[in-house]
Amino acid sequence: MQRIDFDLDAGHDFVELNQLLKLVGIADSGGQGKAIVASGAVTVDGAVELRKTAKIRAGQVVRIDDAEIRIQG
């Protein structure tokens, strides 16, 4: 499994899920990120997440296919 550590920018408490997928290179755009989330392929802390703009915060783990994204604060 590919592990990706994502650091939140200073002053930001969260990143929207579709934007996270774009920022780590899983999606080419925010729109593609939304489509991936809507397909049910993404889990957050082990539960399927269908909210495209879900607020992902430090300490959470996002999984898609063989990639695990750990959010750092």
Instruction: Tell me the per-residue pLDDT of 8-35, one tens digit each, with 9 for 90 and over.
Output: 988 899 999 999 999 999 999 989 999 9
Q: Are 24 and 16 in contact, with CB atoms under 8 Å apart? A: no
Nearest to 38 by CA among 54, 61, 25: 54
Instruction: Tell me the per-residue pLDDT of 43-69, one tens digit each, with 9 for 90 and over.
Output: 999 999 999 999 999 999 999 999 999
Report the predicted TM-score, pTM, of the whole model to 2 decimal places. Answer: 0.94
Residue reference for tokens 């550590």: 5
Residue ranges of domains in the chain, CATH in brackets: 2-72 (3.10.290.10)
CA distance 64 to 73: 21
